[in-house]
Amino acid sequence: MSSTVPGSPVNPSKGNMKKTDGTARPEIEVRGLHKSFGDNQVLRGIDLEIAPGEVVCVIGPSGSGKSTLLRCVNLLETPTAGQVFVGGSEVTHPDVDIDAVRRRIGMVFQQFNLFPHLSVTENLTLPQRRVLGRDKAQAAQIAAENLQRVGLSDKAGAYPSSLSGGQQQRVAIARALAMGPEVMLFDEPTSALDPELVGDVLAVMRMLADDGMTMMVVTHEMTFAREVADRVVFMDGGVIVEQGTPDQVIGNPQHDRTRHFLSRVLDPAAADVEEGKQG
């Protein structure tokens, strides 16, 4: 069987950061995005483009607006101001068919959100049949293909309660892929997992990146960001502080806020000792 996920683009080279230079339409485009919750301004004018096949990792401290930005892309959060485009369609337009746009977007959350009373296969086939109108046989075939992709063919008849957290997250990824998305959004997909289970999930995400899937990943996994991302975006205080290749942002950050964040993430024990001295 082909290694390409149904609906995914052809694998481009991961050697250089991809850029939208006007010759190709961005797959995701965010213009002047603001989001407030009451008096709390979480996003303060975000501008961002993601090219087809590009993997962008969004990093930053808690409360920086990373997950809110991600959720605004498929309108799980309604922006206060600004525009979001996915595949050329304006998600934020008042007359948009948001269900049609969301069919092009797969999203994987921190929690797995599987139906506990359904088997793994049923968790994958139900959305296909209800949302895409696929018949039972077609949905089952696509479910089997994507379970194989994430290395869980032997769990097709299992129920979520019998799976580890890492296996449940891989099922959640397979469920999103079964819908044939053009874009995958990941909101800290390993943060709820025990450390020994993280690697299998990241391996699946790495495979998708190698296959050329457009991916926007909110993550605290710096090794993944360094090795897999085409571009790293550092956010703090609701703005993009800096962005560039992993070598630029993680290897040689230009802003004090970025350097401080990375020092805490990459060597938390040292950061704690330093804070203790200052205290």
Locate 142 and state its tokens: 């696509």
| List of residues 6+ apart from 271 with CB closer than 8 A | 263, 264
* pLDDT at residue number 49: 97
pLDDT digits (tens, 9 = 90+) for 232-273: 999 999 999 999 999 999 999 999 999 999 999 987 776 555
Residue 130: exposed, middle, or buried by beta-carbon count in 10 A (0-12, 13-18, 19+)? exposed
What whole-number distance in Å separates Cα of residue 146 and Cα of residue 106?
A: 13
Q: What is the mean pLDDT of the chain?
A: 88
Picking from 253, 204, 194, 252, the residue whose alpha carbon sits closest to that of residue 224 is: 204
pLDDT at 107 over 60: yes
pLDDT digits 0-9 by tens, 19-36: 444 557 899 999 999 999
pLDDT > 60? residue 276:
no
More confident residue, 18 or 10: 18
**For residues 88-92, average pLDDT:** 91
Do residues 221 and 198 make contact, with C-beta atoms less than 8 angstroms apart?
yes
What pLDDT sits at residue 98? Answer: 85
Residue 19 CB neighbours (<10 A): 14
- pTM comes to 0.87
pLDDT at residue 15 in the model: 40
Q: Which of 44-48, 58-62, 265-269 has the lowest mean pLDDT?
A: 265-269
Please report the domains of the chain, with CATH numbers, ordered by start residue.
28-55+65-207 (3.40.50.300)
pLDDT at 279: 47
Ramachandran quadrant class, 188 (left: phi over 0; alpha: psi -120 to 50; beta: rest): left
**pLDDT tens figures, 182-241:** 999 999 999 889 888 899 999 999 999 999 999 999 999 999 999 999 999 999 999 999
For residues 205 and 224, the answer to whether their CB atoms sit within 8 Å is: yes
Report the number of secondary-structure helices (H) and strands (E) in the chain: 10, 10
Higher pLDDT, 153 or 98: 153
Radius of gyration of the chain measured on its C-alpha atoms: 19
CB 206 within 8 A of CB 224: yes
The pLDDT, as a whole number, for residue 23 is: 58
Q: Does the pLDDT of residue 146 top 60, yes or no?
A: yes
Per-residue model confidence (pLDDT) at position 24: 74
* pLDDT for residue 267: 79
Q: For residue 30, give the nearest of 94, 96, 74 by alpha carbon.
A: 74
Q: Please list, in sequence order, all residues whose beta carbon lies within 8 angstroms of the beta carbon of residue 209, skipping any fewer than 6 positions away.
A: 14, 55, 215, 228
Does residue 180 register a pLDDT over 60? yes
What local confidence, expressed as pLDDT, does residue 272 receive? 55
pLDDT at site 227: 93
